Structure 1
Amino acid sequence: MEFSVMCKTRHVLTLIGSVLNIVLSFIVFCFLDILDFVLCFVYKVLDFCIESEWKNPNSGSYSAATLDGSGKIIVSEQGETESEVVYLTSTKFQLEEISDTLYSRPSFVTEVSNQLKRLTFDTITITKSTEKKKPTRSTITINSTIVKLLQGRMIGQYLYPITRWSDCDCQFCNSWAYSTKRTLFVKSDGPKDQAKEDVVFIHGFVSSSAFWTETLFPNFSSKAKSIYRLLAVDLLGFGRSPKPNDSLYTLREHVDMIEKSVLEGYGVRSFHIVAHSLGCILALAIAVKHPESVKSLTLLAPPYYPVPKGESATQYVMRRVAPRRMWPPMAFCASVGGWYQYIARTVSLVLCKNHRLWDFLIKIITGNRIRTFLLEGFIRHTHIASWHTLHNVIFGTSGKLDRYLDVIRDRLSCDVTVFHGEDDEVIPLECSYNVQRRIPRARVKVVENKDHITIVVGRQKEFARELEEIWKKSTKN
């Protein structure tokens, strides 16, 4: 009897909590819609006054040819759901896909209204017409804007200086700008010339190579360090790597820079990959491009969301990652960072531009007793890098992951191991099982009482041993 009463009470409290979450979320995110709209024009005026450039905010719809705020030319094709970026290099034009979530993010009220309409239509039986429609032809509108923009790029007019006024201008964050080598920062450990195999470590979103070098590298056995060369990379736009403001931080750009800086830069031929969160997407893309070279694939909390038929892949994944809810807190943070460009830029202005102040305050408060490598990785990036990477890689590649996983299943023979924290509130556990459904040979290990970060931090010794066993087994095979 008491157990039944407790169950009913818990059910009622859960229902009340859900209703409160929905109501509060509606109020808060409606306010954030308005705030982001206002900040859009505030930053537009500030950019014009400080940098003498009147920039088109990319929170609304694009015209036939316009800028996304980083020097690239957006060309909208009539009859197509995606846009392409055209930009001029010294030798050729290049086309790159960008995520439509960069410029198509409906307000919270609009989204709720659309959901209500779907519910209404679901209750009505609609008879579809069998009449065949003529296919629409895709045409590109080219006007004088394109010509002017191309002329500006050809004579060397770049939209942004090396450092934007809202970005940090310290030597640590901009050391790459004074180097002739535009490659990623790579921290290596182990034998330099006589390594039998290499291991490439790819960190997650708003992080850095320190996620690996401060945790795992000191805990690998001396035997492992005599066999494997460990290579941890700072992704483009993060840590000590270049942070160009004329980059869109697409999947192709990230992968190309890893190939140039790590695989080619260190003469890597046969290698293992260890990747966390966002890095898992890059790891899959690299594995597909180098199927004969990858010895093993270890993924930690891979953000893989199978997209239902009829859904827009990018929009669906954006809503899964950033559901615009107040609770849990990680969902709220992801929602603010994913939906509101100018609120996110304000957060970046406060945290990233002033990271030296935060470093100093934390050292004073803690008496310099706590290692702050996680915080350093979190606040040492630019808003352009984090915003475009989130949309163009995490959201924008959602339609490609099925194909990547199928290629790894059918064409690669390497071991695939997936680790996921049981208490991970950033990437749900179901994502790892989704990978296993696509690649049946993949082994999923759920780590109890660990979340998105503590799956490594705090259990680095144990995880280092697990990785050594994976590499040893893969080498034997």
Structure 2
Amino acid sequence: MPKFSANLVGKRGVIRAADFIITVLSFIVFLALDFLDALLCVLYRFIDDFLEGSSAASSCYCSRGGEESEVSETLCRRKNVFRGMLGGFTHFAGIFKNARGGGRGRGNRWSDCGCESCVSWMKNGVTDDLRLHFVVTQPPNKDKLEDVDGKGAENVIFLHGFMASSSFWTQTVFPYLSEEDSRQKYRLFAVDLLGFGKSPKPMDCLYTIRDHIEMIEKTVIVPFEMKSFHLVAHSMGCVIAVALAAKYSKSLKSITLIAPPYFPSSREDASLAALEKLAARRVWPPLLFGSAFMSWYEHLGRCVCFLFCRNHRTWERILKLITRRDVHFVVVDMTRHTHHSAWHSMHNVICGGAKVMDKYLETLRICGVKMNVIQGSKDQVVPLECSRNMKMQVGDNAEVKVIANADHTSVVVGREEEFTRDLEQFWASITTSSDVA
């Protein structure tokens, strides 16, 4: 027993020492990143003004207040010890402003990709009638979605997560539907959320939860006259799905959330608390460091997008040459956005959603909406506590399922058939219970 205790104390000492080293390294590394991001703020301001004639509306959040009501506080209140010191230099950027003046409107920036795939939404000119790109299935041998066995086909809307697209669903769930049953009963819609995939990526948009919902309504709910529908969402899409479900609680048949980033909004600064949970400024583990790098640093993140997203076709060709196979859809989707759309969606949806999720979930609880929550036991992006918190908030109407040895992506990708069967069984249980009622 004494020997065991000594070993335990020794292990705890090693863990504490390792944690101390990581804490010190994190402080040094992120201090350096603070300085570099502040320098890049000055550099990008000069370049943007020279090439684009940027207006005040196009400035970064280093020098802006939180005047917009729907803008997350994480955009303007991110800590950077050097921001105030170097901020004065941006005042002189206006000297080099392009004579054309004006804002960027809805078009691409000089640092965004201009390939056909990325600007296809602008091919007919930039208009006010923007629609999302989506993929829809129809029951076989049906010119119209007329009643099947006396009942209309049930609509299902799929929403992907951060830095993904409709391919997350069309490459996983769609091919594995039961031939005899589900393909007759369900009409599936997989959308590219605003700012991702082949959907529009306007520069004059803040990519708030409301912006995303309005585009989903405009693209699929209203045109297809949906009287009822199921929702399935992954990661960031869960926040949008919950908001959409609360708005259409009387039309919603069920909602399935995979790895939902949900934190109870007991604090006034709930958005900042969510950012600190999802992207703590730590150098280890690497995935957490990457999240922090892209979430806290507007200009460093833009550099990454300039290097990888703007040149995604080159990187895809290189990967294809190295692996001698087609690039996996998950890798392809990671670059199909602009820095503006990803940056704002991250903060205004994932972090900003922390302030309103409790209200939306309370609506779903009162309305008795059936909720299916799924998460991988090894999810390093969204803490497992998020699913447990959601169960506590919604109560008996929510069923939580933890998938052993699955992470944030492999909870779906890699177990497509099993996941699809679970979805079909959940939808069938909702239909059966409504028939009984």
Query: 1:61 offset after TM fit, Å?
Result: 4.3
Mean Cα deviation higher: 176-185 or 51-60: 51-60
Please name the residue that 1:41 is paired with: 42
Q: Which residue of 329, 336, 340 corresponds with 1:380?
A: 336
Matched, 1:353 2:310: yes
Alpha-carbon displacement from aligned partner over 1:370-413 (angstroms, at most 9, x marks no partner): 541001111110000000111111111211111111110012x2
Alpha-carbon displacement from aligned partner over 1:54-103 (angstroms, at most 9, x marks no partner): 656433343xxxxxxxxxxxxx6xxxxx632xxxxxxxxxxx52112212
Please name the residue that 1:117 is paired with: none
Q: Tell whether the 8 Å contact from 2:105 to 2:202 is kept in structure 1 after alignment.
A: no
DSSP 3-state at the match of 1:22:
helix
Alignment of 1:24-423 (within 5 A): 24-53=25-54, 57-62=59-64, 83-84=67-68, 96-107=69-80, 158-160=103-105, 162-179=107-124, 182-191=130-139, 193-194=145-146, 195-222=152-179, 223-309=181-267, 311-368=268-325, 370-411=326-367, 413-423=368-378
Hey, what's the Cα distance between the residues in 1 that align with 2:255 and 2:328?
29
Which residue identity is paired with 1:393? Answer: V
Residues 348 and 169 (structure 1), Cα distance of their counterparts in 2 relative to 1, 3 Å cut: same
Structure 1: where are the runs of 5+ without partners?
A: 63-75, 77-81, 85-95, 111-155
Q: Between the two proteins, what is the percent identity of the paired residues? A: 42
Hey, what's the Cα distance between the residues in 1 that align with 2:302 and 2:425?
43
DSSP 3-state at the match of 1:440:
helix
Hey, what's the Cα distance between the residues in 2 that align with 1:439 and 1:51?
48
Structure 2: where are the runs of 5+ without partners?
A: 84-100, 147-151
Q: Tell whether the 8 Å contact from 2:52 to 2:104 is kept in structure 1 after alignment.
A: no
DSSP 3-state at the match of 1:439:
helix
Query: 1:159 offset after TM fit, Å?
Result: 2.8
Give TM-score, length-normalised by structure 1.
0.80
Which residue identity is paired with 2:67? Answer: S
Hey, what's the Cα distance between the residues in 2 that align with 1:396 and 1:284?
13
Matched, 1:432 2:433: no
Which residue identity is paired with 1:426? Answer: V
Hey, what's the Cα distance between the residues in 1 that align with 2:312 and 2:49?
25
Which residue identity is paired with 1:235? Answer: L
Q: Tell whether the 8 Å contact from 1:190 to 1:227 is kept in structure 2 after alignment.
A: no
Higher helix proportion: 2
Hey, what's the Cα distance between the residues in 1 that align with 2:380 and 2:279?
12
Mean Cα deviation higher: 329-338 or 226-235: 329-338
DSSP 3-state at the match of 1:397:
helix
Matched, 1:470 2:422: no
DSSP 3-state at the match of 2:231:
strand
DSSP 3-state at the match of 2:395:
coil
Hey, what's the Cα distance between the residues in 2 that align with 1:282 and 1:433?
19
- State the aligned residue count: 400
Give TM-score, length-normalised by structure 2.
0.88
Q: Tell whether the 8 Å contact from 1:58 to 1:103 is kept in structure 2 after alignment.
A: no
Mean Cα deviation higher: 43-52 or 396-405: 43-52
DSSP 3-state at the match of 2:253:
strand
Hey, what's the Cα distance between the residues in 2 that align with 1:159 and 1:173?
17
Hey, what's the Cα distance between the residues in 2 that align with 1:212 and 1:426?
19
Query: 1:4 offset after TM fit, Å?
Result: 3.4
Alpha-carbon displacement from aligned partner over 1:3-39 (angstroms, at most 9, x marks no partner): 4344233212211111011000000000000000011
Q: Which residue of 409, 415, 419 corresponds with 1:459?
A: 415
Query: 1:281 offset after TM fit, Å?
Result: 0.7
Query: 1:306 offset after TM fit, Å?
Result: 1.4
State the Cα RMSD in Å.
1.9
Hey, what's the Cα distance between the residues in 1 that align with 2:206 and 2:55?
19
DSSP 3-state at the match of 2:189:
strand
Q: Tell whether the 8 Å contact from 1:423 to 1:449 is kept in structure 2 after alignment.
A: yes
Q: Tell whether the 8 Å contact from 1:26 to 1:108 is kept in structure 2 after alignment.
A: no
Residues 444 and 108 (structure 1), Cα distance of their counterparts in 2 relative to 1, 3 Å cut: farther
Which residue identity is paired with 1:212? Answer: W
Alignment of 1:441-452 (within 5 A): 441=396, 442-452=398-408
Please name the residue that 2:22 is paired with: 21
Alpha-carbon displacement from aligned partner over 1:318-373 (angstroms, at most 9, x marks no partner): 111111011111211111111100000000101110000011011111112x5410
Hey, what's the Cα distance between the residues in 1 that align with 2:274 and 2:80?
17
Mean Cα deviation higher: 388-397 or 446-455: 388-397
Mean Cα deviation higher: 50-59 or 265-274: 50-59
Q: Tell whether the 8 Å contact from 1:47 to 1:54 is kept in structure 2 after alignment.
A: no
Which residue identity is paired with 1:339? Answer: W
Q: Tell whether the 8 Å contact from 1:59 to 1:105 is kept in structure 2 after alignment.
A: no
Hey, what's the Cα distance between the residues in 1 that align with 2:123 and 2:262?
38
Query: 1:109 offset after TM fit, Å?
Result: 8.9
Q: Tell whether the 8 Å contact from 2:112 to 2:306 is kept in structure 1 after alignment.
A: yes
Hey, what's the Cα distance between the residues in 1 that align with 2:113 and 2:270?
34
Q: What stretches of structure 1 move > 6 A for 4+ residues in a row?
A: none
Mean Cα deviation higher: 414-423 or 53-62: 53-62
Which residue identity is paired with 2:17? Answer: I
Q: Tell whether the 8 Å contact from 1:98 to 1:396 is kept in structure 2 after alignment.
A: yes
Hey, what's the Cα distance between the residues in 1 that align with 2:166 and 2:218?
17
Hey, what's the Cα distance between the residues in 2 that align with 1:379 and 1:39?
22
Higher strand proportion: 1
Query: 1:415 offset after TM fit, Å?
Result: 1.3
